[in-house]
A and B are shown apart, each in its own frame.
Chain A
Amino acid sequence: MSSGGHRRLDIEEVGDVTVARFIDKKILDETNIQIIGNQLFGLVDEDKRGKIVLDFSNVEYLSSAALGKLITMDKKVKAAKGKLRLCSIRPDIYEVFAITKLNKLFDIHENQEKALEGF
Protein backbone atom coordinates (compact mmCIF):
# COMPACT_ATOMS: atom_id res chain seq x y z
CA MET A 1 0.00 0.00 0.00
CA SER A 2 1.43 3.31 -1.08
CA SER A 3 0.08 6.21 0.90
CA GLY A 4 1.16 7.55 4.24
CA GLY A 5 -0.78 7.66 7.46
CA HIS A 6 -2.49 4.83 9.30
CA ARG A 7 -3.98 1.94 7.45
CA ARG A 8 -7.62 2.73 6.75
CA LEU A 9 -8.60 -0.48 5.00
CA ASP A 10 -8.56 -4.10 6.14
CA ILE A 11 -7.54 -6.14 3.12
CA GLU A 12 -8.48 -9.79 2.72
CA GLU A 13 -8.08 -12.07 -0.27
CA VAL A 14 -11.00 -14.40 -0.96
CA GLY A 15 -10.02 -16.52 -3.96
CA ASP A 16 -9.24 -14.03 -6.72
CA VAL A 17 -11.31 -11.29 -5.08
CA THR A 18 -9.88 -8.54 -2.87
CA VAL A 19 -12.16 -7.56 -0.02
CA ALA A 20 -11.35 -4.13 1.44
CA ARG A 21 -13.18 -3.24 4.62
CA PHE A 22 -13.21 0.37 5.80
CA ILE A 23 -11.86 0.61 9.35
CA ASP A 24 -13.22 4.09 10.13
CA LYS A 25 -16.74 4.65 11.45
CA LYS A 26 -16.79 8.16 10.02
CA ILE A 27 -15.49 8.87 6.54
CA LEU A 28 -15.82 12.62 6.92
CA ASP A 29 -12.71 14.59 7.59
CA GLU A 30 -10.93 15.92 4.50
CA THR A 31 -7.51 14.53 5.47
CA ASN A 32 -9.01 11.13 6.28
CA ILE A 33 -10.84 11.02 2.98
CA GLN A 34 -7.66 11.89 1.11
CA ILE A 35 -5.76 9.04 2.79
CA ILE A 36 -8.59 6.54 2.32
CA GLY A 37 -8.87 7.58 -1.34
CA ASN A 38 -5.14 7.03 -1.92
CA GLN A 39 -5.26 3.61 -0.26
CA LEU A 40 -8.25 2.65 -2.41
CA PHE A 41 -6.64 3.87 -5.63
CA GLY A 42 -3.44 1.95 -4.73
CA LEU A 43 -5.42 -1.30 -4.99
CA VAL A 44 -5.98 -0.62 -8.68
CA ASP A 45 -3.05 1.57 -9.74
CA GLU A 46 -0.23 -0.26 -7.96
CA ASP A 47 -1.49 -3.63 -6.77
CA LYS A 48 -3.39 -4.22 -10.04
CA ARG A 49 -6.28 -5.93 -8.35
CA GLY A 50 -9.11 -6.67 -10.77
CA LYS A 51 -12.01 -7.77 -8.58
CA ILE A 52 -12.65 -5.62 -5.56
CA VAL A 53 -15.36 -5.69 -2.92
CA LEU A 54 -15.65 -2.67 -0.62
CA ASP A 55 -17.19 -3.63 2.71
CA PHE A 56 -18.97 -0.79 4.54
CA SER A 57 -20.00 -2.71 7.67
CA ASN A 58 -18.08 -0.37 10.01
CA VAL A 59 -19.16 2.86 8.33
CA GLU A 60 -21.69 5.00 10.18
CA TYR A 61 -21.12 8.33 8.42
CA LEU A 62 -19.93 9.28 4.99
CA SER A 63 -19.88 12.65 3.25
CA SER A 64 -20.15 13.78 -0.36
CA ALA A 65 -16.36 14.13 -0.50
CA ALA A 66 -16.11 10.40 0.26
CA LEU A 67 -18.66 9.71 -2.48
CA GLY A 68 -16.36 11.61 -4.83
CA LYS A 69 -13.51 9.21 -4.02
CA LEU A 70 -15.78 6.20 -4.61
CA ILE A 71 -16.78 7.60 -8.00
CA THR A 72 -13.11 8.04 -8.96
CA MET A 73 -12.41 4.51 -7.70
CA ASP A 74 -15.23 3.17 -9.88
CA LYS A 75 -13.78 4.94 -12.92
CA LYS A 76 -10.29 3.56 -12.24
CA VAL A 77 -11.57 0.01 -11.84
CA LYS A 78 -13.62 0.26 -15.04
CA ALA A 79 -10.66 1.73 -16.95
CA ALA A 80 -8.55 -1.23 -15.80
CA LYS A 81 -11.34 -3.57 -16.98
CA GLY A 82 -11.88 -4.71 -13.41
CA LYS A 83 -15.02 -5.02 -11.32
CA LEU A 84 -16.07 -3.22 -8.17
CA ARG A 85 -18.82 -4.21 -5.78
CA LEU A 86 -19.99 -2.53 -2.59
CA CYS A 87 -21.56 -4.37 0.34
CA SER A 88 -22.89 -4.20 3.91
CA ILE A 89 -24.09 -0.61 3.66
CA ARG A 90 -26.34 0.29 6.59
CA PRO A 91 -29.75 1.86 5.81
CA ASP A 92 -28.77 5.46 6.77
CA ILE A 93 -25.76 5.32 4.48
CA TYR A 94 -27.69 3.55 1.73
CA GLU A 95 -30.04 6.52 1.78
CA VAL A 96 -27.08 8.77 0.97
CA PHE A 97 -26.41 6.63 -2.12
CA ALA A 98 -30.10 6.57 -3.05
CA ILE A 99 -30.61 10.35 -2.71
CA THR A 100 -27.63 11.02 -4.96
CA LYS A 101 -28.71 8.18 -7.28
CA LEU A 102 -25.30 6.57 -6.92
CA ASN A 103 -27.09 3.32 -6.11
CA LYS A 104 -27.52 3.16 -9.90
CA LEU A 105 -23.84 3.71 -10.61
CA PHE A 106 -22.51 1.19 -8.10
CA ASP A 107 -23.09 -2.55 -7.89
CA ILE A 108 -24.36 -2.76 -4.29
CA HIS A 109 -24.91 -6.04 -2.41
CA GLU A 110 -26.53 -6.75 0.93
CA ASN A 111 -23.54 -8.48 2.52
CA GLN A 112 -20.07 -9.78 1.74
CA GLU A 113 -21.28 -13.30 1.02
CA LYS A 114 -23.71 -12.02 -1.63
CA ALA A 115 -21.11 -9.66 -3.08
CA LEU A 116 -18.72 -12.61 -3.57
CA GLU A 117 -21.36 -14.80 -5.22
CA GLY A 118 -20.63 -15.22 -8.92
CA PHE A 119 -17.92 -12.55 -8.84
Chain B
Amino acid sequence: MSSEAFEVTIPSDTARGQAVQERIISLLEKLNFPPRDVFGVRLALEEALVNAIKHGNGMDPEKNVHVRCRVNDVSAVVEIEDEGPGFRPETIPDPTAEENLEKPSGRGIMLMRAFMSDVSYNDRGNCVRLVKRRDGDEAE
Protein backbone atom coordinates (compact mmCIF):
# COMPACT_ATOMS: atom_id res chain seq x y z
CA MET B 1 0.00 0.00 0.00
CA SER B 2 1.24 3.49 -0.85
CA SER B 3 1.47 5.75 2.13
CA GLU B 4 2.77 9.26 2.64
CA ALA B 5 3.08 11.24 5.83
CA PHE B 6 4.55 14.56 6.92
CA GLU B 7 4.48 17.07 9.75
CA VAL B 8 4.97 20.77 9.35
CA THR B 9 4.76 23.87 11.53
CA ILE B 10 3.77 27.16 9.92
CA PRO B 11 3.28 30.71 11.22
CA SER B 12 -0.20 32.27 11.42
CA ASP B 13 -0.23 33.28 7.77
CA THR B 14 -3.01 32.18 5.41
CA ALA B 15 -0.61 32.14 2.42
CA ARG B 16 1.48 29.53 4.26
CA GLY B 17 -1.74 27.66 5.01
CA GLN B 18 -2.49 27.61 1.29
CA ALA B 19 0.91 26.07 0.59
CA VAL B 20 0.26 23.25 3.08
CA GLN B 21 -3.15 22.75 1.54
CA GLU B 22 -1.57 22.36 -1.93
CA ARG B 23 0.95 19.88 -0.56
CA ILE B 24 -1.78 17.67 0.91
CA ILE B 25 -3.96 17.94 -2.21
CA SER B 26 -1.05 16.87 -4.42
CA LEU B 27 -0.66 13.73 -2.26
CA LEU B 28 -4.33 12.88 -2.77
CA GLU B 29 -4.01 13.42 -6.50
CA LYS B 30 -0.89 11.27 -6.61
CA LEU B 31 -2.82 8.46 -4.93
CA ASN B 32 -5.70 8.94 -7.39
CA PHE B 33 -8.39 9.98 -4.94
CA PRO B 34 -11.62 10.76 -6.87
CA PRO B 35 -12.15 14.46 -7.78
CA ARG B 36 -15.14 14.70 -5.44
CA ASP B 37 -13.00 13.59 -2.50
CA VAL B 38 -10.29 16.04 -3.47
CA PHE B 39 -12.87 18.84 -3.63
CA GLY B 40 -14.17 18.02 -0.15
CA VAL B 41 -10.73 17.71 1.40
CA ARG B 42 -9.56 21.00 -0.10
CA LEU B 43 -12.63 22.79 1.20
CA ALA B 44 -12.30 21.25 4.68
CA LEU B 45 -8.57 22.08 4.84
CA GLU B 46 -9.26 25.68 3.85
CA GLU B 47 -11.87 26.04 6.58
CA ALA B 48 -9.77 24.30 9.24
CA LEU B 49 -6.58 26.24 8.45
CA VAL B 50 -8.39 29.59 8.38
CA ASN B 51 -10.07 28.71 11.69
CA ALA B 52 -6.71 27.82 13.25
CA ILE B 53 -4.93 30.92 11.95
CA LYS B 54 -7.71 33.49 12.45
CA HIS B 55 -9.85 32.26 15.31
CA GLY B 56 -7.41 29.97 17.12
CA ASN B 57 -4.22 32.02 16.91
CA GLY B 58 -5.96 35.34 16.28
CA MET B 59 -3.47 36.01 13.41
CA ASP B 60 -0.74 36.37 16.08
CA PRO B 61 2.60 36.14 14.22
CA GLU B 62 4.20 34.70 17.36
CA LYS B 63 1.88 31.69 17.28
CA ASN B 64 2.20 28.70 14.98
CA VAL B 65 -0.05 26.10 13.45
CA HIS B 66 1.05 22.47 13.50
CA VAL B 67 -0.13 20.18 10.73
CA ARG B 68 0.21 16.39 10.73
CA CYS B 69 -0.86 14.53 7.63
CA ARG B 70 -1.06 10.88 6.64
CA VAL B 71 -2.44 9.79 3.29
CA ASN B 72 -2.64 6.24 1.99
CA ASP B 73 -4.72 4.37 -0.59
CA VAL B 74 -7.83 4.27 1.57
CA SER B 75 -7.85 7.44 3.61
CA ALA B 76 -6.43 10.85 4.38
CA VAL B 77 -6.03 11.96 7.99
CA VAL B 78 -5.00 15.53 8.79
CA GLU B 79 -4.60 17.06 12.25
CA ILE B 80 -4.42 20.83 12.53
CA GLU B 81 -3.44 22.27 15.89
CA ASP B 82 -3.26 25.93 16.84
CA GLU B 83 -1.78 27.61 19.90
CA GLY B 84 -4.96 29.37 20.93
CA PRO B 85 -7.10 28.68 24.02
CA GLY B 86 -9.37 26.29 22.12
CA PHE B 87 -13.14 26.41 21.72
CA ARG B 88 -16.17 24.21 22.21
CA PRO B 89 -17.57 23.30 18.77
CA GLU B 90 -21.02 22.59 20.26
CA THR B 91 -21.36 26.26 21.24
CA ILE B 92 -21.26 27.43 17.60
CA PRO B 93 -24.82 28.35 16.61
CA ASP B 94 -26.51 26.43 13.79
CA PRO B 95 -25.91 28.63 10.73
CA THR B 96 -28.87 27.08 8.91
CA ALA B 97 -31.42 28.16 11.53
CA GLU B 98 -33.75 30.78 10.05
CA GLU B 99 -32.54 33.51 12.43
CA ASN B 100 -28.87 32.76 11.63
CA LEU B 101 -29.17 32.35 7.86
CA GLU B 102 -27.89 35.84 7.13
CA LYS B 103 -25.09 35.75 9.68
CA PRO B 104 -21.67 35.08 8.21
CA SER B 105 -20.44 32.54 10.77
CA GLY B 106 -20.59 28.86 11.69
CA ARG B 107 -20.56 27.60 8.11
CA GLY B 108 -16.93 26.52 8.03
CA ILE B 109 -17.37 23.77 10.62
CA MET B 110 -20.61 22.73 8.99
CA LEU B 111 -18.91 22.32 5.60
CA MET B 112 -16.04 20.36 7.15
CA ARG B 113 -18.51 17.92 8.72
CA ALA B 114 -20.48 17.61 5.47
CA PHE B 115 -17.50 16.90 3.23
CA MET B 116 -15.27 14.81 5.50
CA SER B 117 -15.93 11.25 6.77
CA ASP B 118 -15.11 12.29 10.32
CA VAL B 119 -14.31 15.55 12.12
CA SER B 120 -13.29 15.56 15.77
CA TYR B 121 -11.69 17.94 18.25
CA ASN B 122 -9.42 17.36 21.21
CA ASP B 123 -10.74 18.23 24.70
CA ARG B 124 -9.14 21.65 24.73
CA GLY B 125 -10.63 22.42 21.33
CA ASN B 126 -7.43 23.69 19.71
CA CYS B 127 -6.81 20.66 17.49
CA VAL B 128 -9.11 19.34 14.78
CA ARG B 129 -8.73 15.89 13.24
CA LEU B 130 -10.09 15.51 9.73
CA VAL B 131 -10.57 12.06 8.23
CA LYS B 132 -11.54 11.42 4.65
CA ARG B 133 -12.08 7.83 3.59
CA ARG B 134 -11.80 7.26 -0.12
CA ASP B 135 -15.24 7.39 -1.68
CA GLY B 136 -16.86 3.95 -1.48
CA ASP B 137 -14.39 2.54 1.04
CA GLU B 138 -15.77 1.60 4.43
CA ALA B 139 -12.55 1.06 6.39
CA GLU B 140 -10.32 3.90 7.46
Contact = CB atoms under 8 A, between A and B. Distances in A.
Interface stretch (A4-12, A51-59, A100-108): A100-108
Contact of A100 (B15, B39, B50, B111): B111
A91 to B, nearest CB: 10
Nearest to B102: A71
Interface in A36-76: 61, 63-65, 67-69, 71-72, 74-75
Interface of A, secondary structure class, is helix
B50 A30 contact: yes
B43 A96 contact: yes
A95 B103 CA distance: 19
Interface residues of A, number: 24
Given A29-B15, A61-B46, A101-B96, 17 more contacts: A61-B42, A63-B47, A63-B50, A64-B47, A64-B107, A64-B108, A65-B50, A65-B108, A69-B104, A71-B103, A72-B104, A74-B102, A96-B111, A100-B107, A101-B95, A101-B101, A105-B102
Nearest to A62: B43
A64 B111 contact: yes
10 contacts: A29-B15, A29-B18, A30-B54, A63-B108, A64-B110, A65-B108, A68-B104, A100-B110, A101-B96, A105-B102
